[in-house]
Structure formats: C-alpha cells, structure tokens
Structure 1
Amino acid sequence: MTEQPVLSKYQEMIRGYLEGEISAPEFSLNYLQEFKGETMTMSDNTYDILQDLFRKADAYCEDPELREKTSDGIGEAELRKAAIDASNKLDRRLEEIE
C-alpha cells in the first residue's frame, strides 16, 4: 500500500489554504467534504493526522459571536495552527514512506 497519493492530495489542499489561495471557510468546507468522501486506503498514523485536522476544520466557525456560543468553536488562528501542524506531520509521514 502506498500512501503517497493521499498524502500529496491533502498536502496540496492544506498548502493552498496556508498560502492564501483559499480562505479559511473554503478550506474548512472543502476539507470536510474531501475527508468524509475519502476512499483511498491509509495507515492508522496518516488517518490520525488527517482526523485531527478534520476535528479542527469541523469546529471552525467564522463568526466570532456564534463561536462564543459554542463549547468547541475555533477561529481562523486556531485552524491555521492545526493546518500547519498537520502539514508538518504529513511531511514527516512522506519522509517515512519514501
């Protein structure tokens, strides 16, 4: 099983967000849709990395007033931090499987 295609796909999506090609709301929605529909196989390690980011993307709320009313809502700074963390972990996964 090679995970390189799935790792590369998510890295590209994350980098697009981190480099400003798409907004936080767009990234959150796109990431949630992509991960929910994922059909490629992956290791537990890779799944855990992507699942952690999924949780953050799902908790993202653009509206600060609405975010205050939820117990687990996060803003763009926290989403960006989670995306950076996931990107770094995916880079390490790519190095491990090469």
Structure 2
Amino acid sequence: MTTEDIKGEYLQLIDCFLKGEITANEFSLGYLHKMKGDGRLFGKLYDLLEEMFGEANSYTDNQDIYNSDPEFYITDQDLRFKAVALSEKLRYLE
C-alpha cells in the first residue's frame, strides 16, 4: 500500500464527517481507532495525522465535561474546523 493510498483512507473518513455522513462522535471514535491500529504511518503524514489524533481525543459531546476543562476539550464545531484544516494539509502533502 502506498502513502497515497493510506492518505486516501484518512481523507475518506474526514470527508464523511465534513459531508455530515457521520457524526462528530462517530468520526472521533473512528479516527482514534484507525490511528491506534495503524502501523503504516511515518514522516510528515504521521505528524499531520497525529495532530488530529490529539484533537479527536479531546472531543466531547457532553457539555458538562466540556465545561469542566474547556482548555482541553473541544466541541463539534472545533473538531470540524480542525478536520477541514487537516483535509487541506493532506491534499497538498506530497
């Protein structure tokens, strides 16, 4: 499998979220699961995807949890913003 193939898998997941085909919670959990089991990542691709791993890990749809530490937790809107930024970076990554 090539780096382009791997990148495409992650872009597909991100695009499903951005198109509203899956919820923020489904995206977050799916992304975390995919990254944890993916031993094919390295270099710039890994660095970019690892950033989003942290964001996905900080996502919560529970307002009480968010309010307990808004410096750490992020909302649906924040996650969407981060996903858009990652999508753009991935599309231009060579």
**Shorter-chain TM-score: which interval?**
over 0.9
Residue 2 of structure 1, CA deviation: 3.3
| Corresponding position of 1:13 | 13
In the alignment, does 2:22 pair up with 1:22? Answer: yes
Could you say what the CA RMSD is over the residues aligned between the two structures, in angstroms?
1.3
Identity of aligned residues (%): 33
Q: How many residues align?
A: 93
Rounded to whole Å, the distance in 1 between the matches of 2:74 and 2:60 is 6
TM-score by length of 1: 0.89
TM-score by length of 2: 0.92
- Which runs of 5 or more residues in structure 2 are unaligned? none
Runs of 4+, deviation exceeding 3 Å? none
**Tell me, what secondary structure is at the counterpart of 1:61?**
coil
- Which runs of 5 or more residues in structure 1 are unaligned? none
| Corresponding position of 1:40 | 40
Rounded to whole Å, the distance in 1 between the matches of 2:68 and 2:52 is 22
Q: Which one-letter code corresponds to 2:62 in the other structure?
A: D
